[in-house]
Structure 1
Amino acid sequence: MDFLRAVEFATPQIEADKRLLQFKTYDDYLDSLVTAEDLCYLQNTVVARTLAELGYRSSGETLSKESFKKRLDAVLEYMFPTIRPYELLSEKIKLTDPLIQDLALRERSNRVGILATIIFVRHYTKKGFEISGYIDYAQRLKTEDWKPIFKGTKKIWPKATDLGYYHWRIGKVVSNDSLNYKVVIDPEKGMLFQNRFDRKIINVNPTAIVGSNTTRTRIKSHMYDQFILYDHVVRQRI
């Protein structure tokens, strides 16, 4: 959870551009590139800013006024969106179970496509039969009402329409592509999931390396026999 809060699943560019929040104006940004030595020799703030804008006072990229505004606006829109084309169902609900809190923490990032979380859940029925599966969290958020789940009045059950579904009693094993993932069956590695947007592979084998930009988190809850989250940070192709 600390990792999620730290990076907030921002794109690498937006994460880097958060530094621009310290500047109120473009001139403030240029002033940060000007040294005391510059002012001593030039004796003119405007000239010093001009040299900075031309890139003579920075070892890296110096932003133009237009680029500065665009990047700062992008950071502000990410952190304080003016338009929200979605509703965060977990936002106004008192979350008590740690597992539900973890899902709520990931809700926004999955809705906007920064994160593509795969849920693995395993249940045992009263007669001891296993029902388990892999769920595309973002897809489920779009296709069903999660309020009862966030309230803790309804459990998450795998379905035959999910990425993966296994019902021991009836011997049913199903796999399906989803909005965010394609199912890949490897003769040696078994079931893998390929993200549709950056084509990265997620290996859900608990003994294997899960894959780049992906973390595996096992969460304990009295509501579930086993619950694992595979969090994949989507790297958009440029």
Structure 2
Amino acid sequence: MTQQYVLETRGLTKSFRGFTAVDGVDLKITEGHIHALIGPNGAGKTTVFNLLTKFLPPTRGEILYRGKPITRMRANEIARLGLVRSFQISAVFAHMTALENVRVALQRNLGTSFHFWKSERSLEPLNQRAMELLEQVGLADVADVLTVELPYGRKRALEVATTLALEPTVMLLDEPTQGMGAEDVDRIVELIRRVSAGRTVLMVEHNLSVVSRLCDRITVLARGSVLAEGDYASVSADPAVREAYMGSEASVGEEASA
């Protein structure tokens, strides 16, 4: 019996005026796994994310969600299926509190996101769920703080909370630890591990230490194509991966432990 994956691509290709950014990529994402997409700059990782979430139409190939084709679906239809891209779709509002940001995301899930004329009292039923989500990402203590006043790492945690408000089955995390110091990275790693329970996560991530600590499976892209795939131990030991990813014969494992 053929295994059915929660998310799959077959021959996914994207060309721009003669330049092929993604070239025949086959991805198989197992339900409940944390799966990383890594590779050097220009490998096509973000383009793959843009294709999966319908920011870009593919030139060729198929995208399947739980075995059903979604290639021609629109971005809002993809999100309603539960395929949600964090840190970009779930933008936060700087001059609203953490609680208000999560509440807006909950309204979006109900189809009332832009009903800003509603009274504060009418939104109170959403407060309990918003507080539960803030608690889940460790932000209950700053519920009434304006987002603009939060440190960078906590803003990222808030973005995760707004994404969780959309009840995703598959979370696509685009560089979740980019620009963070070690302490914030550790917090986000633990947060991703916590919120991945009962969900599938596909993440683009340059920090190999994060990848080695979190991910069940890794796909390495180079020049738009899949170079290697496997668990961290097998991928990090592959000489072709070391050459492409590091630009030398240095071990990928050495960077992860640095």
Fold match (TM-score > 0.5): no
Higher helix share: 2
TM range (shorter): under 0.3
- TM-score, length basis structure 2: 0.25
Relative contact order (alpha carbons < 8 A, sep ≥ 6): 1 or 2 greater? 2
